[in-house]
Amino acid sequence: MVFEKIDRSSWKRNEYFEHYFADIPCTYSMTVKLDITQIKKKRMKLYPAMLYYLATIVNRHSEFRTAINQEGELGIYDEMIPSYTIFHEDTETFSDLWTEYMPNIEEFSRAYENDIQRYGSNHGMTGKPNVPENVFTVSMLPWSTFESFNLNLQKGYSYLIPIFTLGKYYEEDERILLPLAVQVHHAVCDGFHICRFVNELQELINS
């Protein structure tokens, strides 16, 4: 994992960062309906497939890898790793696991299954220890679909990494749709960037 510090004196986004981080702190969310018909036709496991697709697009664009590290420095990670929630029916609580990103979907899916088998029964918020700092979070709510979803973070104005929430899929007009909420910080991510993300994500799913 490499964290490249940003030189704000020459950073093309510095004016926008200063405005939306310091002057008018602003985060926002966008909820879309993804067409996951191809995933279901191929009988792929939905959660690991979506983790892989999300991580692939996150790692494609620097605005989704921009963060403030543990030393308080602004920079860009060379790679991001998905951290995701799993549900425990016996306690009705969840735990966070994480799986190293791999460019090959079959290899990533195997690593995901290994992590589920090894750490999936661990209770407590951190199911898999030694969480790396270059993670982005994904949650799934398979019990209900939704039209919109928003997180309210008390200290969210200093958190630059995107947050993804998936809902329950459903069928409409012979397509299978999955709600996805994306929460980002305006200091590093504009409407153009989040729309490009969603469009590329859908193209990747279709392929």
Given this model, what pLDDT does residue 93 score?
97
Given this model, what pLDDT does residue 22 score?
95
The domain ranges of the chain are 26-69+82-171+184-198
Q: Does the structure show a pLDDT above 90 at 154? A: no
Q: Does the structure show a pLDDT above 90 at 89? A: yes
Angle between the 105-119 and 46-58 helix axes, to the nearest 10 degrees? 120
Instruction: Judge whether 88 counts as a catalytic residue.
Output: no
Token pair, residue 36, equals 């996951």
Mean pLDDT of 46-54: 98
Residue type for 146, please? F
Q: Which of 19, 123, 186, 193 is catalytic?
A: 186
Given this model, what pLDDT does residue 168 score?
98
Q: Which of 95, 10, 91, 108 is nearest to 55 (CA)?
A: 108
pLDDT band at residue 153, thresholds of 50, 70 and 90? confident
Q: What is the pLDDT of residues 174-204, one digit of tens each?
A: 999 999 999 999 999 999 999 999 999 999 9
pLDDT band at residue 110, thresholds of 50, 70 and 90? very high
Q: Does the structure show a pLDDT above 90 at 155? A: no
Given this model, what pLDDT does residue 156 score?
80
Q: Does the structure show a pLDDT above 90 at 25? A: yes
134-172 core/surface letters (b: 16 or more CB in 10 A; e: else): bbbbbbbbeeeeeeebeeeeeeebeebbbbbbbbebeee
pLDDT band at residue 173, thresholds of 50, 70 and 90? very high
Mean pLDDT of 153-182: 95
Is 26-69+82-171+184-198 CATH 3.30.559.10?
yes
Given this model, what pLDDT does residue 20 score?
97
pLDDT band at residue 95, thresholds of 50, 70 and 90? very high
Token pair, residue 33, equals 């309906």
Reading phi first (left if > 0) and then psi (alpha if -120 to 50, else beta), residue 130 is in left
